[in-house]
Amino acid sequence: MSFYICSNCGYGSASWIGKCPDCGQWNSLKQQQGFDKKTNQPTQDFELTPLSRIKSSTEKKLATGVYEFDRVIGGGFFPSSVTLLTGEPGIGKSTLLLQILKNFKTLYVSGEEGAEQIKQRLNRLKIKDDNLDFSNTQQIESIIKGISKNHKHYQIVVIDSIQTIYSNKIEGTAGSISQLRETTSQLITFAKNTNTPVILIGHVTKEGEIAGPKTLEHMVDIVLSFEGEKVSHFRILRTPKNRFGSTDEIGIFEMTSLGLSQVKNPLAFIDDEKSSAPGMSIVGVTEGKRPIFFEIQTLLSPTILAIPRRVAKGIDYNKILLLLAVLRKYYGFPLDKYDIYINVVGGVSIKSTAAELGIVASLISSFKNKSVKNNTVFIGEIGLLGETRKVVFEEKIISEARRLGFKNIYSSKNIKNIKELKNVFSS
C-alpha cells in the first residue's frame, strides 16, 4: 500500500493530486511506501520496554552561570534536551547564546552568518573563542555525521537557525513544513542518543508566532521566547513550554554596548523617584515567584472619529476592551468620546491579571486629569461586576512593595470595588 505526502507542507493523500489542497503547491505530492506490498505487513517492528528496568538519569544539569537564564529553564540544560529559542530579528538571540555558552565546549552551526561575523561578535562581547567551533554546513545528515564523531567533545550544539537546515531525504526547500519536521526529528534523535543538549534558533512570523508547523513546538523539550522592543534596552526571556521546570518564570536582561546584562532590581522598569503624573500608575505583579513593578501610562484624547481608537502596547487588547466596558458601566464615564492609548513603559509586555487595578486607575487618572498619589502601587484583578479580586502571591507583592518604600499600597484588601478608587488621587 502506498500513499502520497506533500513535500512542502506534509499533507497526506491516498491518491496523487496535482495541486496540494493544503498549501496550494503544484506537483509536490510524492509517493511514500508505508507497508510492504508483498506481505501487507508493517515494516517497523514493535518494541516494548518495561519502565521498571529503566534507571533514572543521575546526570546533573549544565548550569550556565547566568542566573536570569538558568531560572527560566529550570536550573540549567538537561542532558539530551532540545531547546527552541525564538524572537524577533535583531532582538539579541545570538548574543544571548554566545554569552551563556562561553564556558561550554560548543559547536555553533549557522546557516545565516559566517565565521567572521561570529568572531566579530565574540570580540565585541569580549568573550574568548577557545570553547567555540563553527560550521556553516546546512545538510542535516552531514551535520549529524560530523557531530557524531565528536559528540563527547562538544557539550552543547547550537543550530542557527532551524529554518536554514535541510534533509536530503525530503524534497522541498529549507524552511518548508516537511523539512522542519524531518530536520528537527533527526536532531532530537541525535540528542537523545548522545545525551547532548541541542539548541535550535527559530524564526518568528510578522504576527510574533513561531514560524513553521505547530508540531515543532510539541517536538522539542523547551520553548524559549526572547521579547522586547528594539527601541528599548530591556529584554524578557519567557518559556511557554518546559518539560524540566516551571513555565511561569521570566529572565530580565538589559542590552548594553557589551551585550546583555542581568537585571535583578524589581524597580528596573520604573522611575526611581516613583513620582506621579495624570494618566500614570505603578502596578505590582509576579512573574513566576518573582515580584516586579511596571509603569502604566494612559492617554485619553477627544476623538474626531466615528469609531474611537483603542491602542494598547504591552497589554492584551481584549483585556483593555473588557476593562473599558466595566468602567463605562460602573463609573459612567463617556469613554466613547475619547481615543484611548495605553502603554507599558520599557517596551515589555504584562500578562498577569494583577495589573488590572492599576490600568483602571491610570484610565481614571487620565480622564480626570488628576495624578495618583506619589509612592503608590496597585495590585489586583478586576471582575466583570467591578469588584477587585485577590491575585496569586498578593501578600508577597505587598511585602516587597513595602520593602521598596511604597507608602500607598492598594489591593483587594482596601479597594473592594473600582468606585473606591476616587480616594487614590491627589487633590
* Numbered residues of the known binding site for ATP: 87-94
Among 268, 299, 267, 263, CA closest to 375: 267
Query: Could you tell me if 315 and 342 are in contact, meaning their C-beta atoms sit under 8 angstroms apart?
Result: yes
Q: Helix, strand, or coil here: 102?
A: coil
* Percent helix / strand / coil, the chain, rounded to 5: 25, 30, 45
The alpha-helical segments, DSSP class H, found in 204-312 are 215-219
Among 268, 331, 341, CA closest to 302: 341
Pairing assessment for the beta strands 376-378 and 408-410 based on DSSP bridges: parallel
Q: Name the DSSP class of 174.
A: T
Q: Name the DSSP class of 353.
A: G
Pairing assessment for the beta strands 106-110 and 132-135 based on DSSP bridges: parallel
Q: Helix, strand, or coil here: 349?
A: coil
Separation CA 144–CA 304 (nearest Å): 61
Query: Could you tell me if 315 and 340 are in contact, meaning their C-beta atoms sit under 8 angstroms apart?
Result: no
Which residues, 6 or more positions from 57, have their beta carbon under 8 angstroms from its beta carbon? 79
DSSP H or E segment with residue 13? strand 12-13
Pairing assessment for the beta strands 290-302 and 338-344 based on DSSP bridges: antiparallel
Instruction: Tell me the binding residues.
Output: 87-94
Task: Compute CA 186 distance to the chain's CA centroid, rounded to the nearest angstrom.
Answer: 24
Separation CA 298–CA 366 (nearest Å): 6
Separation CA 217–CA 83 (nearest Å): 10
In sequence order, the β-bridge partners of residue 42 are 35
Q: Is the dihedral of CA 406, 412, 417, 418 positive or negative?
A: positive
Q: How many CA atoms lie within 13 A of 379 on its CB side?
A: 29
Helix 115-125, helix 93-100: angle, nearest 10: 70
Cell of 240: 511557554
Please report where in the chains the cell 551563556 appears, as a residue.
Answer: 100
